[in-house]
Amino acid sequence: MKRPAVFFDRDNTLIVSDGYLGDPEKVVLVAGAADAVARARELGFAVVVFSNQSGVARGMFSEEDVQAVNQRTDELLKAENSGAVIDRHEFCPFHPDGTIDVYARESDRRKPKPGMILAAAKAMALDLDQSWVIGDAGRDIEAGKAVGCRTILFHDPSLKKSPAAEQPSSAEPDFVAATLAEAVDHIAAKMSEPRNAAEPTSAEVPVTESRAAPAEEPEPAAPSMRMAHSAEPAALDVVAPAITPAPIRDAVLTAARSTPVATPFPSNGSATPAASTPSAAKRVPKVAIGSKYVPPGGGGVGVTPARPSPAGGSDIDPPAREPVPVAARSPVAQKIAAREAEERPPEPPPIASDRVEGLLEQIFLELRRGHEQHEADFSVSKLLGGVVQILVLGILFLAYLKRGDQESLQTHLLLAATLQTMTVSLLIMSRQK
């Protein structure tokens, strides 16, 4: 089911700016901006910011500066209201009068053309007929009307009008608001009312040059044209490098192999796999960047959906087949295989079975020998040695008690030394038996 959205203009609608702001330190929110964004999300709308940034084409700042301003805007919105989250940022850096060659041209993304709205709607599966556009300039209203959105012209009397807002426009907004709170209140009030049949919808808007980019105007590959902050980004076809996480790397390795990959078992549960097709073998799996991509049948990133096995239950692994030699794989697969070989821990050396048996037999003999020696360990020499050792300890205790008498102390110590020598001799004799 498609979701409606509220498209906010950025400059002089959410932040105070004349349209040429490239310093994130100078970002200041318009009064009520955070509460308006949070309220729109509470009403069930996605929130998209779309803005012309011709300052890039004029050499006043770079695309990175635009992204930094957008990021700072996000931070200030969330700091003021935790529910004020922008789902996506779209901006157009092109202008036909630009001084930077790569940006000096017209683009269908530049308002009043609706290219940015259409791009966000395609990426996020948005329902434009139920969506709204809020902006301070006539070009915002024209862009919204071009795709069937309802529109609100915002003009805060405390803010100086931007050059875009000063330009005349023939487009009539559906509502005019002096505050962002008033604009969102109007949207909330209209949610319970059926849309006027006289209002054009996206299906009734004729497909013109403003709805789609002309064939002779391809977008350049070098500069990026938008910065997405979507909580649910669209799945992208990517080829993962060798340093990708293991689950994604394994999925890419499977798709990159030159030999066809066996297709899943048919839905009737039979053990015969369906015929493989070259197109299916070469299809690169879709990997969601920044979120979990759940393939058909369940699972998470890099998890193969369970297939019915011949014995019932599920069989996650594909049918057994001979491994493909590394030399026959694609360059990407060879690099990944080499990296896996480097990271694999060395296997322990095998232990021969006869060596294990000999070790166990030796342990058994030692235990038996110790038991036999324990039974024959008694001797008179050991007994006498123990008795004499006890006498030595008693004499040393007496010497401690009479430590004040030097003559008696020497006598006791001499006697103790003699008896200790006798104890050692008796123990040696017992060992020699």
Could you tell me what percent of the chain has a pLDDT over 70?
Answer: 61
Confidence category of residue 1, pLDDT binned at 50, 70, 90: confident
Confidence category of residue 264, pLDDT binned at 50, 70, 90: very low
Q: Which pLDDT belongs to residue 341? A: 73
Name the most confidently modeled range: 10-19, 90-99, 187-196, 406-415.
90-99
User: Does the active-site annotation cover 9?
Assistant: yes
Mean pLDDT of 70-95: 97
The total of other beta-carbon atoms located within 10 Å of residue 158's CB is 9
Confidence category of residue 45, pLDDT binned at 50, 70, 90: very high
Tokens found for residue 256:
């990159």
Is 42's pLDDT higher than 90?
yes
Is 107's pLDDT higher than 60?
yes
Is 72's pLDDT higher than 80?
yes
Digit-coded pLDDT (tens) for 127-142 = 999 999 999 999 999 9
Q: Which residue would you say has higher pLDDT here, 32 or 162?
A: 32
SS3 281: helix
What are the strands, taking DSSP E only, across 348-431?
Answer: none
Q: Which pLDDT belongs to residue 135? A: 96
Q: Which pLDDT belongs to residue 170? A: 86
Q: Which residue would you say has higher pLDDT here, 422 or 340?
A: 422
The answer to whether 298 and 305 are in contact (CB under 8 A) is yes
Identify the DSSP state of 133.
E
Q: Among the listed ranges 58-72, 165-179, 234-248, which one has the minimum average pLDDT value? A: 234-248
Distance CA 401, CA 419 (A): 19
Q: Which pLDDT belongs to residue 98? A: 95
Q: Which pLDDT belongs to residue 278? A: 41
Q: What are the extents of the domains in the chain?
A: 5-227, 243-262+280-346, 376-432
Q: Which pLDDT belongs to residue 254? A: 52
Tokens found for residue 51:
């803005």
Average pLDDT, the chain: 74
The total of other beta-carbon atoms located within 10 Å of residue 295's CB is 16
Mean pLDDT of 267-271: 42
Digit-coded pLDDT (tens) for 286-317 = 433 333 334 444 444 344 344 444 444 444 44
Tell me the Cα Rg of the chain. 41
Q: Among the listed ranges 24-33, 61-70, 227-236, which one has the minimum average pLDDT value? A: 227-236
CB burial of residue 334 (10 Å; 0-12, 13-18, 19+) = middle
Is 122's pLDDT higher than 50?
yes
Q: Among the listed ranges 49-58, 92-101, 234-243, which one has the minimum average pLDDT value? A: 234-243
Confidence category of residue 214, pLDDT binned at 50, 70, 90: very low
Mean pLDDT of 103-131: 96
Identify the DSSP state of 126.
B
Tokens found for residue 119:
């791009």
Superfamily of domain 5-227 in CATH is HAD superfamily/HAD-like (3.40.50.1000)
Is 83's pLDDT higher than 60?
yes
Confidence category of residue 60, pLDDT binned at 50, 70, 90: very high
Q: Which pLDDT belongs to residue 93? A: 97
Beta bridge partners of 366: none
Is 242's pLDDT higher than 50?
no
- Cα distance between the two ends of the chain: 96
How far is residue 266 CA from its own chain's centroid?
33
Q: Which residue would you say has higher pLDDT here, 98 or 402?
A: 98
The predicted model scores a pTM of 0.50
Confidence category of residue 357, pLDDT binned at 50, 70, 90: confident
- Catalytic residue chosen out of the listed positions 9, 129, 136, 174: 9
User: Does the active-site annotation cover 136?
Assistant: no
Digit-coded pLDDT (tens) for 133-187 = 999 999 999 999 999 999 999 999 999 888 888 888 888 999 999 999 999 999 9
Mean pLDDT of 76-96: 97
The total of other beta-carbon atoms located within 10 Å of residue 167's CB is 12
Is 238's pLDDT higher than 50?
no
